């Protein structure tokens, strides 16, 4: 509709009838626009008409008896009036003009100093300006509505990283009321350990004026950590300078969890492949020796059945039995390790007198070594019981002692120390053997791994792997100190828990 076709309804709020007549005459002289003028002469009537909203524009006199035009402007703002208002002032009252604009007036005119053309132009400008503002407000409301309904976290912030807008999803994610976040620094919401990375990306946005996308890890445990993917866009003003940035963050925790799970599965699959390869290599090597002994001895006995003495026969049969025992021990280690890998190691805790328990095992090894090694067991005179699994603890101590005997020269001393303190038992086994090469130390507890200086000794490479898993079932820990050629000391830490339950 053009200005020629439109009839704009104008309301004049003025307590002076002469002003009404002057205004009516000026509007009647309008060249391009037709106006319909209504008049009320009191503040209260002006309030009523503005609230009704039946006019396209309101002309308000500054002086309205006991009230003034500022109060009416303020009232219009309070009730959400979306129509334009023009303040009419007297000569010499220009100091009020800026105040009128700040209260929502579209324009101001000095009574007695405006022509019909100026009044027409001012009214048309105010109406069009108000329409544009209303459209902008509607558009902004729609935009905010879209943002509020988005699952993504949306925020805007200035160069000082002060938030100027956040949507509901952003506020809920960080646990703040939406209204309290604008004016707050974005740095208060970003974890301190992540802010350096965040700052690098912000520099790209503000300094290089380029959008950026990156991932951000929020605090939490490895299983509960939250991940976000941020996309930050620079926002330019009319002079094309970046004055703000808008960030959109998406929670990608589930995706990251899936990625981590897949990565772990691939690593596990690779580890299983390596375990299988090492297992095949170990069994083919370690089983070959006892099998060769059994086969060759059996063949000898078969061929020389009537030509050897009883003593020699018994010696040969003893070799077969020993080879069979070696194979049985190898199979036992493989089976125990298999249970440990499948988390099926039985754990039946009971009270154990560690001094008596260790003494018994040490005496068995002392007898078996035929005096080739010296054993020293240091322990307190009085020691409270340890609650643990007897079978698993026997496996731990047997593996550590058998390794000490195997890799230490005859006539050397193996020292066992047992202490208690800080809610834990400390057991250490120290030998004077060949030690562990530095390059092998990080892998010493890996299954089937054998140090480079042990190749001439028999073994599966499972003993220490089983030992660590048995200690883990007690929620304990094992460490070691070793120097090649000077020996190794294994230290086992076991928690002092009086009542452990089956796990």
357 in Cβ contact with 389 (< 8 Å)? no
> For residue 281, what pLDDT is reported?
55
> For residue 1, what pLDDT is reported?
45
The helix (H) or strand (E) run that includes residue 442 is: none
> For residue 304, what pLDDT is reported?
67
From the list 397, 454, 404, the residue with the least C-alpha distance to 431 is: 404
> For residue 500, what pLDDT is reported?
47
How many helices (H) and strands (E) would you count in the chain?
A: 13, 19
Name the token pair of 274. 């390596």
> For residue 454, what pLDDT is reported?
84
- Overall number of domains in the chain: 4
Rounded to the nearest 10°, the torsion over CA 437, 443, 445, 448 is: -100
> For residue 452, what pLDDT is reported?
84
Tell me which of 251, 285, 308 is where a domain ends: 251
Any idea what the CATH number is for the domain that residue 216 is in?
3.30.450.20
Q: What are phi and psi of 177, to 5 degrees?
A: -65, 140
Provide the 3-class DSSP secondary structure of residue 319: helix
Total Cβ atoms within 10 A of residue 92 = 7
Any idea what the CATH number is for the domain that residue 334 is in?
1.10.287.130
Any idea what the CATH number is for the domain that residue 128 is in?
3.40.50.2300
- Residue 502 lies inside a defined structural domain of this protein: no
> For residue 2, what pLDDT is reported?
47
104 in Cβ contact with 71 (< 8 Å)? no
> For residue 501, what pLDDT is reported?
46
Any idea what the CATH number is for the domain that residue 478 is in?
3.30.565.10
> For residue 502, what pLDDT is reported?
44
Q: How far apart are CA 251 and CA 154, in angstroms?
A: 12
- Residue 34 lies inside a defined structural domain of this protein: yes
| 115 and 216 together in one domain | no
Tell me which of 146, 167, 190 is where a domain ends: 146
| 328 and 357 together in one domain | no
How far from each other are the two terminal CA atoms of the chain, in whole angstroms?
83
| 312 and 325 together in one domain | yes
Domain span at residue 14 reads 7-146
Mean pLDDT for back-to-back runs of 10 residues, the chain (503 residues): 68 90 88 88 92 92 89 90 86 68 82 83 85 74 60 86 89 86 87 79 83 78 71 84 87 81 74 59 58 68 68 74 67 67 79 95 83 90 92 92 92 94 92 94 85 78 87 94 94 81 46
| 490 and 353 together in one domain | yes
183 in Cβ contact with 142 (< 8 Å)? no
- Residue 240 lies inside a defined structural domain of this protein: yes
- Residue 503 lies inside a defined structural domain of this protein: no
């Amino acid at each position: 509709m053009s200005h020629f076709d439109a009839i704009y309804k104008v309301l004049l709020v003025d307590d002076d009838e002469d002003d009404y007549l002057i205004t009516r005459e000026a509007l009647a002289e309008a060249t391009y626009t037709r106006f319909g003028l209504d008049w009320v002469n009191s503040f209260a009537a002006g309030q009523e008409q503005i609230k009704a909203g039946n006019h396209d524009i309101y002309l308000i006199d500054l002086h309205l008896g006991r009230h003034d035009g500022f109060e009416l402007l303020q009232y219009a703002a309070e009730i959400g009036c979306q129509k334009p208002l023009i303040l009419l002032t007297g000569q010499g009252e220009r100091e009020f003009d800026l105040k009128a604009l700040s209260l929502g007036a579209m324009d101001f005119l000095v009574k007695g100093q405006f022509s019909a053309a100026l009044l027409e132009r001012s009214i048309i400008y105010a109406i069009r300006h108000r329409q544009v503002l209303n459209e902008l407000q509607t558009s902004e409301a729609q935009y905010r509505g879209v943002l509020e309904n988005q699952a993504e976290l949306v925020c805007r912030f200035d160069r000082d990283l002060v938030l100027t807008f956040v949507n509901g999803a952003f506020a809920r994610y960080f646990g703040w009321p939406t209204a309290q976040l604008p004016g707050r620094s974005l740095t208060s919401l970003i974890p301190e350990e992540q802010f350096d990375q965040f700052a690098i990306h912000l520099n790209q946005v503000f300094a290089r004026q380029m959008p950026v996308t990156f991932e951000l890890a929020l605090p939490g445990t490895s299983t509960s950590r939250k991940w976000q993917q941020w996309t930050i866009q620079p926002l330019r003003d009319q002079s094309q300078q970046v004055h703000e940035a808008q960030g959109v963050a998406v929670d990608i925790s589930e995706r990251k969890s899936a990625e981590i799970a897949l990565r772990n599965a691939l690593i596990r699959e690779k580890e299983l492949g390596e375990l299988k390869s090492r297992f095949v290599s170990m069994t083919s090597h370690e089983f070959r020796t006892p099998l060769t002994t059994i086969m060759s001895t059996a063949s000898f006995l078969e061929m020389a059945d009537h030509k050897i003495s009883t003593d020699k026969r018994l010696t040969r049969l003893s070799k077969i039995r020993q080879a069979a025992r070696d194979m049985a021990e190898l199979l036992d280690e493989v089976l125990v390790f298999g249970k440990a890998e499948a988390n099926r190691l039985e754990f039946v805790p009971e009270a154990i007198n560690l001094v008596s328990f260790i003494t018994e095992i040490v005496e068995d090894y002392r007898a078996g070594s035929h005096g080739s090694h010296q054993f020293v067991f240091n322990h307190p005179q009085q020691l409270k019981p340890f609650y643990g699994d007897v079978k698993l603890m026997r496996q731990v101590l047997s593996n550590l002692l058998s390794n000490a005997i195997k890799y230490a020269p005859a006539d050397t001393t193996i020292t066992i120390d047992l202490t208690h303190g800080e809610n834990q038992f400390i057991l250490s086994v120290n030998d004077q053997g060949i030690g562990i090469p530095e390059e092998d130390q990080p892998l010493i507890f890996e299954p089937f791994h054998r140090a480079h200086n042990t190749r001439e000794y028999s073994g599966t490479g499972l003993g220490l792997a089983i030992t660590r898993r048995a200690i883990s079932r007690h929620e304990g820990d094992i460490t070691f100190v070793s120097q090649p050629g000077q020996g190794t000391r294994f230290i086992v830490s076991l928690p002092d828990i009086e009542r452990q339950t089956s796990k």
